[in-house]
Amino acid sequence: MKVALNWTAALVLASGVLAFAEDMPAMRTPLTQLLAEAAANNTQISAANHSWKAATYLARQVTTLPDPQFTVQQLNVGSPKPFAGFSNSDFAYIGFGASQDLPYPGKLRLRGDVANREAETQHAQEDVVRTSIGEQVKLLYLRLAYLEATLSILGRNDEVLRQLIENGLSRYSVGLGSQADVLKAQLEHTKILREITMHHQEMGQLEADLKQLVHRSQDSADIRPEQLTVTRFEYTAEQLQALVREHNPAVHMGANAVQKQEAQLKSVQREGKPDFNVGYIFQLTGSGYRDYYMLTVNMRLPRRKRIEAEIAEAVEQLDRSKQERDSQMQQQLSEVQKQYVAVTSTTELLKEYQEGLIPQAEMAFHSEESAYQSNKQQFAPVLSSLLDVMTFQHDYQQAIFDHETALAHLETLTGASLR
């Protein structure tokens, strides 16, 4: 009787928890909507966009001539007082002049090339951030859908388990069943309750992360994903690798970094040429004296040792950028191959679950259940068969999740939509 009372309380608790688990709003949020929200509202993407826009103004700054200088002079004769000697000496004067620095031809253009390459690199960085945020949204969304699918599995199988428990309690009350069977079923039921609680905890955390990425208020309505389904995949490994070379954001950023360093090297080499300064001064003297007019041309010769050091540094930076670009390419190609293997292997695994493991496990359970209902079978094999069904159904959803997760990674790597 004590076992029966314990089970009654457990079943009441389970009913409340499972009812909460199944009380999901009918309105579902498609993944495309969340991706659009993240692209429009995510602050990391916005910050990267502002960095790129700021970089586009750098070329205009470095290609503009240096600021002109204007000069006012006064030369006194015989006294430090202002205008002393202005009326009685041809040395006293008031001068007005201007000067302009003129870099060697081509220097400003090459500096502009470096700035433009930097802006392109910042633009590529924005694409990297955008795709990274998009991938995070996809993975969180898929995880939410997976948890909801497994919650449904737990609820359905727990309902079957509860029916078996009620049957077992009835048998135990008339002396046909064993207390050990009932206690074993009670343990499995409690495990399901624990799984449901853990699922809800993780789902709440995932929703908090999703809302942060799409810039929604944390007290906004819950995000409910669409049903987790298998996406058909028809790409070959060679096609995926070609897409990586053409569209991968990280590869593009590495290529832009190399182009920037090439422009930097050309600019530094040009910096070894001399710069000039042109100035003109008009000197006004007192009446009766002739005015002065002076044109000056100055030339600045860069120090050879400094220029040689800057060139050597630029060469090393260029080599570093090339190595990083090649390393990035190899890393991306390796990762796309891993994800391709994951997609193809999970496709085969899903077929095995659909056509073999799950139907066979369900048939075995129904056979054991029928034998148990006819008093031809003990309770333990029935419970074991039910747990096999639940395990395979759970593993099937895990395989779908792994398949879709690998596709999400491939979309990031290839820069293409594979769904």
pLDDT tens profile 260-281: 999 999 999 999 999 999 999 9
Per-residue pLDDT, 181: 65
CATH number at residue 136: 1.20.1600.10
8 Å CB contact between 79 and 85:
yes
Cα of first residue to Cα of last residue in the chain, in angstroms, is: 56
> Is residue 38, in this structure, part of any structural domain at all?
yes
> Is residue 166, in this structure, part of any structural domain at all?
yes
In sequence order, what DSSP letters do the residues of 20-62 get, joined into one string? HHH---S--B-HHHHHHHHHHH-HHHHHHHHHHHHHTTHHHHH
> Is residue 372, in this structure, part of any structural domain at all?
yes
**3-state class (DSSP) for residue 353:** helix
Domain that holds residue 196: 2-68+106-274+304-414
8 Å CB contact between 214 and 37:
yes
**Chain-wide mean pLDDT for the chain?**
86
8 Å CB contact between 271 and 303:
no
Say if residue 317 is exposed, middle or buried (CB neighbours under 10 Å; 0-12, 13-18, 19+). Answer: middle
- Both structure tokens of 163: 């029916």
> Is residue 97, in this structure, part of any structural domain at all?
no
**3-state class (DSSP) for residue 96:** strand
> Is residue 284, in this structure, part of any structural domain at all?
no
Q: Which portions of the chain are predicted below pLDDT 70?
A: 1-26, 164-179, 181-182, 372-377, 379
> Is residue 87, in this structure, part of any structural domain at all?
no
> Is residue 288, in this structure, part of any structural domain at all?
no
Q: Which residues 6+ apart lie within 8 Å of 300 measured at CB?
A: 274, 275, 276, 277
How many structural domains compose the chain? Answer: 1
C-alpha closest to that of 256 among 373, 117, 375: 117
* Residues present in the chain in total: 419
> Is residue 151, in this structure, part of any structural domain at all?
yes
Count Cβ atoms below 10 Å from residue 325 Cβ, excluding itself: 20
Helix (H) / strand (E) containing 99: strand 93-102
Q: What is the pTM of this model?
A: 0.81
